[in-house]
A and B are shown apart, each in its own frame.
Chain A
Amino acid sequence: MMTLFTGSEGRPGGRGAAAVAVLAGLALACAVAPLMADGAVVRRHDADPLVAALLDGRGSLSFALFAGLLGGALGVGWGVLATALGRRAERRLMSTATRLTALPLVLLVPLAAGLLGGGVGILALTVALAVAPAIAGLTHAELNALMRREFLTAARAAGLSEGAILRRHLIPNARRPLLAAGALALPRALAAESFAGLLGLGLPAPLGSWGASAGLAARLGDPVALAAPALLLAVSLWALCAFADSLRPGHPRP
């Protein structure tokens, strides 16, 4: 028998728990990395490659969290608004989102950084905008599926007003799929920023990032320096995706 929420037991929950553990470990390691770099002044280029990559992780992960939350909120808001505003607004908003999703929006990030001088704020905003349409599409699909569920009809048959149905049935059942859809913005934001970083147009100078370090190492032809940031980037992308996936409600099986 499936439990309602795929919690800590069973396979999907196990994967989610592993992802959370990996993310927590990474965040902790990045946070204490300055202590490993022989105290005093932190100079990334002299440090051990792994310590340097962990130092970069502070920039990459915190930026991914910031821009991802922004993009997720933007995308979920977009999808919810489309569902709530009625048929015509829905069609407009969602066709815009679908068209934007088809474009390589990630290219906007280095473009904006190059043209506008790349402050953290500008970078975060472009990343959020690049990520939002896909999240909006997901949100809208989840909400549409939810609106067709039979238990809402049953609630209407029980004489509940539309407000009560929204409060007691729609929102509790929408919370988890929307959280899952929004959480997918985190790995996307990390990937977008790393891509810009590879081209040397990512986070500005004092802040290191995995993409920037990997790009620099590739240009210098230094495989040892390339391995650590690339590996950490891959692991955190996997962990963020697995975490978002584990948030999705399990589908009840007969």
Chain B
Amino acid sequence: MTVPMPAPTPTPPIQTDALTLMAGDHALVDRATLRVEAGEVVAVTGGAGSGKSLLLRALAGLPLPGIDVAGNARVDGRRLLIAQGGVLAPRRPLGAQAAEILGHHLGLDAGGSLRRLSDALDRLGVPAAARRLDLPPDRLPDGLRWTALFALALAVGPAVLMADAPGAGLDPTVRLRLLHRLAEWARGEAVALILAGRPEDGVAGPATRALALHRGRLLPAVPHAAVAFHRGPAAVPPGGPLLTGRGVTVSFPLGRTAKGEERRLTVVHPVDLDLAEGETVALLGETGSGKAMLARALAHLPAPTEGRVAWKGRALESGDATGMRRTRRDLQVLFPDPAAALDPAQTVGAQLAETLESLRPDIPADRRARRVADALETAGLPAQTAQRWPVSLSAAEAARAGLARALLPEPRALVCDEPAASLSAEERSAFLDDLLAVRDRHRLSLLLATEQAEEGLRNADRALVLLMGRVVESAPAETLRHGARHPLTRAMLAAARGGSPRLEGEAPSALALRDGCPLRTRCPNERPFCAQAVPTLEEIAPGHRVACHYWDTP
């Protein structure tokens, strides 16, 4: 990144010298030496429990009960800490809270505080900022709540700002945009900014330099992408089609209107999709884009509202129990919350044996235990896991137990709905790596729904990008990585690479959808025509299809 380094000053706003935080005789943060200049943005990354929050609390001068502090930490000027989860009183109007906080720090009256907050919201790119100030934070969408919190911090005008897991839980596109805006502000106003978060949160993207907390030591970070080892798409070229979906639609009844017409909420608009033998297809999209619904509809869990799904050319029908079971044997599913997908009232082994009994009646009962043990070992778990209860499994173990269950009937294809969403960065890459190894060994087809664009594209042959239940771009993964055309795909890739996505605000609710392109309120290329028609998929190069009126606008 080409950001000019601020000139070193004799007294930087943050300087620590061998800051050590001890709980008893255990060093949680060990001799951390940190120097942050005014106008510098520093990212501190680390896994869960690595001591990020503790370090920030120590720098903010908050009390640390039960912790012994050694070494020196000096922080000059007004300092602010945005605590984990973004703490605002949930029910009080935002304006009232702002008046209180700004009144306390700056001695402003209510009118002055609101004006200052509105200016700060303008700087963070929230249009018509003043209108939202009478709402309490829990009535705001998540992205706006975080923006308001940052705006409040901006309005106070600190010399040092520290943010602990900023924008956690937001879509990467929204979070990265916000973090870049915050970093821009810090550089412009000569504020020392520390962003702390997990490596996968992308806090390193907007930062001038990134440090990592590992085993208590604060050291320069290795770029996140370089740590994760990925196998890439399968080496063997894809074969004939296994799973085909035509016009797959998912909608839910919303009751009736006053005239007695049925109202439905459509979360997946007609989608055509093919999954060939040995092929990996990624379904990319933000939260609420319908990727999970589409993936499940393809596995008939539940069946799509309209359209048809065929397995090896034979249409799936819910009524045909025998046929469904035969298909399920070949088409297995990985769930986004693997722990919840295990029955708490049965041991892991009992559920796995049950799956085997149901899908592979040809395997005699006395050989099931052996099969279950083998599957567990393939998934990277000891065979004794079969005797354990689901609640005693960690998230990573549960994910592997889910993989073992999916592999038991020796399927031909796996539908993976964010299979590693509940895992931390290291567990995640290890799990995905094992999944891909299994894929290559058994020549499995994968349908991989994920919101991590870069990760999805690296491992897939082909990808579909979804926006509010519609496919907006589909192309070979390699084409998308370097030549994506749709603004959403570009934004998702930018976010995954730590850059600033060029999309404003958050995805609108599916219940309050307006005419035209669903992205137009956020899109940098938006023009009047976008409000008139929903763009349809058009082929712009062989195998590369885009649904955008202005895809050729750079």
Contact = CB atoms under 8 A, between A and B. Distances in A.
A binds B: yes
Interface of A: 1-4, 149-151, 153-161, 164, 168-169, 172-173, 249, 252, 254
B358 A159 contact: yes
B340 A149 contact: yes
4 closest pairs, A vs B, by CB?
A159-B325, A158-B355, A150-B340, A159-B328
B492 interface: no
A168 B329 CA distance: 20
A157 B328 contact: yes
Interface stretch (B49-57, B171-179, B331-339): B331-339
B359 interface: yes
Contacts of A173: 343-345
B391 A153 contact: no
B550 interface: no
Interface in B16-50: none
B299 interface: yes
Contact of B343 (A1, A156, A161, A169): A169
Contacts of A155: 343, 354
Interface string B376-410: 00000000000001111001000000100100000
B353 to A, nearest CB: 11
A150 B344 contact: no
A151 B405 CA distance: 12
A157 B340 contact: no
A229 to B, nearest CB: 42
B344 A252 contact: yes
Contact of A158 (B296, B328, B337): B328
Contacts of B329: 159
B7 interface: no
Contacts of B332: 157
22 contacts: A3-B391, A4-B389, A150-B337, A151-B340, A151-B341, A151-B342, A151-B343, A151-B344, A154-B335, A154-B343, A154-B405, A155-B354, A157-B301, A158-B354, A159-B325, A159-B355, A161-B321, A172-B343, A172-B346, A173-B343, A249-B344, A252-B391
Contacts of B389: 4
A151 B340 CA distance: 6
Nearest to B408: A158
Interface residues on B, range: 20 to 34
A153 B345 contact: no
A146 to B, nearest CB: 11
Interface of B: 296, 299, 301, 321, 324-325, 328-329, 332-333, 335, 337, 339-346, 354-355, 358-359, 389-392, 395, 402, 405
A106 B335 CA distance: 47
Contacts of B321: 161
A150 B354 contact: no
A172 B355 contact: no
A23 B354 CA distance: 41
Contact of B359 (A159, A161, A164): A159
Contacts of B340: 149-151
A249 B390 CA distance: 14
A156 B391 contact: no
B258 to A, nearest CB: 18
Contacts of B345: 4, 169, 172-173
A1 B301 contact: no
B522 to A, nearest CB: 31
Nearest to B345: A172
Contact of B341 (A1, A150, A254): A150
A155 B328 CA distance: 11
A254 B358 CA distance: 30
A150 B321 CA distance: 21
Given A150-B341, A153-B296, 13 more contacts: A1-B391, A149-B340, A150-B337, A151-B341, A151-B344, A153-B335, A154-B343, A157-B333, A158-B328, A159-B358, A160-B354, A169-B343, A169-B346
Contacts of B354: 155, 158, 160, 168
A150 B335 contact: yes
Given A150-B337, A150-B341, A156 B358 contact: no
A40 B296 CA distance: 75
Contacts of A169: 343, 345-346
A66 B346 CA distance: 34
A156 B355 contact: no
A68 B150 CA distance: 55
B341 A153 contact: yes
A2 to B, nearest CB: 6
Contacts of B343: 151, 154-155, 169, 172-173
A1 B392 contact: yes
A227 B328 CA distance: 67
Contacts of A249: 344
B441 to A, nearest CB: 22
A175 B344 CA distance: 13
Contacts of B328: 157-159
A155 B357 CA distance: 12
- Chain A CB within 10 Å — which of B325, B345, B392 has the most? B345
Contact of B358 (A3, A4, A160, A172): A160
Contact of A154 (B325, B342, B359, B391): B342
A200 B329 CA distance: 67
Nearest to A254: B395
Contacts of B296: 153
Nearest to B333: A157
A161 B318 CA distance: 11
A154 B341 contact: yes
Nearest to B355: A158
A172 B390 CA distance: 15
Contacts of A3: 391
A173 to B, nearest CB: 5
A131 to B, nearest CB: 28
Nearest to A160: B358
Contacts of A154: 333, 335, 341-343, 402, 405
Contacts of B344: 4, 151, 173, 249, 252
- Chain B CB within 10 Å — which of A1, A4, A156, A159 has the most? A159
Given A2-B391, A149-B340, A252-B344, A159 B335 contact: no
Nearest to B321: A161
B301 A153 contact: yes
A157 B299 contact: yes
A169 B355 CA distance: 13
A1 B391 CA distance: 8
A19 B390 CA distance: 29
A96 B405 CA distance: 43
B416 to A, nearest CB: 12
A106 B526 CA distance: 63
- Chain B CB within 10 Å — which of A156, A161, A172, A249 has the most? A156
B324 A159 contact: yes
- Chain A CB within 10 Å — which of B296, B343, B389 has the most? B343
- Chain A CB within 10 Å — which of B329, B337, B389 has the most? B389
B476 to A, nearest CB: 29
A2 B392 CA distance: 7
B396 to A, nearest CB: 12
B424 to A, nearest CB: 12
B54 to A, nearest CB: 20
